Amino acid sequence: MNLQNAKIAVLGLGYVGLPLAVEFSKHRSVIGFDIDLKRISELQESYDATLEISASEIEAAKELIFTSLIDDLHDVDVYIVTVPTPIDEAKAPDLARLREVSKMISGVLRKGNVVIYESTVYPGATEEVCVPILEAGSSLVLNNDFFVGYSPERINPGDKVNTLTTIKKITSGSTEVAAKFIDDLYKSIISAGTHRVSSIKVAEAAKVIENTQRDLNIAVINEFSKIFNLIGIDSQEVLEAAGTKWNFLSFKPGLVGGHCISVDPYYLTFKARMLGYQPEVILAGRRINDGMGVYVATRLIKEMSQRGIRIDQSRILLLGFTFKGDCPDIRNTQIINIFRELKAYNAMVDIYDSWADRSSVKSEYGVELVESLTKGHYDALVLAVDHSEYKLWGEGKIRALGKSNHVLYDVKHSLPAECSDIRL
């Protein structure tokens, strides 16, 4: 295949797929495909609900076509898959969408085509799950008629510094020739360069341990925070003191949500169990981080009770619902666990977040966000997400929302230590 003339289709136009499609379209013809008709309609109007790509960037992408029609994919040379790979209620990998898109591609796959997967999977999934679907639906044979590769996404939603082109890209392919082609393809857009590995499994494994390592580091800091709270010392001050040593790793306690860090460890542990190994440390970290929402709620209830506030007659405001600051992404947000735990105590709980899409929050979590706030209305205020908006408000504007005897809980350390009543 001629690299310069290769026509690309990116399947899945979310936080990962859209930036990729836009960047590739600066150099070649690209089809952006998604089954979400609303998403396609918005993109055709140059609006990106994820706020990763501006209207001007979409309008400038003259070689990019958005579609939800399978028939538009018949003349494609390279298929890049960026669909979500979440976990189910049992914390097991949910590969339904990966299977669906592989079956879809199999219906249009031609000899000489290349299929590249970017979705997070466990090591071996591309060759064990996706390839058989591609072969069965196309009657083609891997490495004889078509080729596959894996190049894990490393997008950090909301990050305007570490963007697609400035993050080194891991690449791999099912043969040496395919691996080189895929590596050269990404080199054409990634200014930070690429890192080509020897096999697809290595690339898959690298992806899951990146976020698993970060998850574990945050988990141990969260455990430190719990201990320091019992001792009665400020965890942030302890971490700053420990951080004066050159080799102390800089992590903060917090709520671990989103589509990567809170999900990827379960993909690795799933594979480990398939092979007869029972992981311990990874799952221990997950238990700690998964339980932080309930911990935050319980600590708030304790503080309110000590002040004589009747919990079942109280009003509590959660400031923030997205999984991270200055980002509209609500996937796997831990704020919902705080909300549900407080509701279990019969408290009346409001959530305010100008970044989150109200209809998405309602459809996914069954929660109505409040649109406006009333002064002197709340018994407790929880700074749950570190949006810049709340930092600009400052202690005065935030406390003005509370009653005279309210509690201010700064989960994200958005304010100076002396401004809040309790911190994580």
In angstroms, the CA 148 to CA 142 distance is: 8
Q: Which two tokens stand for residue 367?
A: 């929660």
Q: Which are the contacts of 122, defined by CB distance < 8 A and separation ≥ 6? A: 93, 204, 208, 267, 268, 270, 271
Architecture of domain 223-423: 3-Layer(aba) Sandwich (3.40)
Which of 130, 260, 327, 419 is an active site residue? 260
pTM of the model: 0.93
Strand partners, 380: 316, 407
For helices 292-306 and 200-231, the axis angle rounded to 10 degrees is 10
Cα 142 to Cα 198: distance, rounded to the nearest angstrom: 17
Annotated catalytic residue 327: no
Every domain range in the chain assigned CATH 3.40.50.720: 3-207, 223-423
pLDDT above 70 covers what percent of the chain? 100
Q: Do the Cβ atoms of 410 and 419 come closer than 8 Å?
A: yes
CATH fit for domain 3-207, picks 3.40.50.1700, 1.10.3720.10, 3.40.50.720, 3.40.50.300:
3.40.50.720
Condensed to tens digits (0 to 9), the pLDDT of residues 83-102 reads 999 999 999 999 999 999 99
- The pLDDT of residue 1 is above 80: no
pLDDT at 260: 86
b/e sequence 263-282, b meaning 16+ C-beta within 10 Å: bbbbbbbbbbeeeeeebeeb
pLDDT tens per residue, range 311-368: 999 999 999 999 999 999 999 999 999 999 999 999 999 999 999 999 999 999 999 9
